[in-house]
Chains A and B, each alone.
Chain A
């Protein structure tokens, strides 16, 4: 899997733009921790903020299936 990460030179500054999905509004720390850990393991995690319980992934299909599978026991 090749991730599309575009690098731009804007004047003297750099700006990195990564298309993907922001995950937010987790019900619990446990749910957040589980999802972040999974996203990291499958290599889609781009950014996270534990304090805000938000993270960004560049692909979501696998993660979405994982979240669904957690709901349906």
Chain B
């Protein structure tokens, strides 16, 4: 008997997906099923929170490195 799992299918760029997987790895609160490089299913009620976290993560990665630098 097949199972039906409620969720939201997210189709995105593989780079975006890897960020989502990183966010999820902290508490596994978002991802229901990892499907392929650019596709995954997430919990329906977590979609808006995930989008917020993703926006934050993208802002961080797109900021130019500050002068605190690496040494």
The interface size of chain B toward A, counting residues with CB under 8 Å, comes to 28
B6 at the interface (CB under 8 A from A): yes
B10 at the interface (CB under 8 A from A): yes
Whether the Cβ atoms of B7 and A22 lie closer than 8 Å is: yes
Across chains A and B, the number of contacting residue pairs, with CB separation under 8 Å, is: 86
Q: What is the bound-complex CA distance between A67 and B41, given in angstroms?
A: 22
Task: Determine chain B's interface SS by DSSP, over half rule.
Answer: strand
Also in contact, A10 and B36, with CB within 8 A (given A19-B8, A60-B4): no
A11, A17, A54, A67: the one contacting B58 at CB < 8 Å is A11
Whether the Cβ atoms of B39 and A47 lie closer than 8 Å is: yes
- Contacts from A to B (Cβ < 8 Å): 8, 10-11, 13-27, 31-32, 35, 46-47, 49, 52, 54, 56, 60, 64, 67, 71
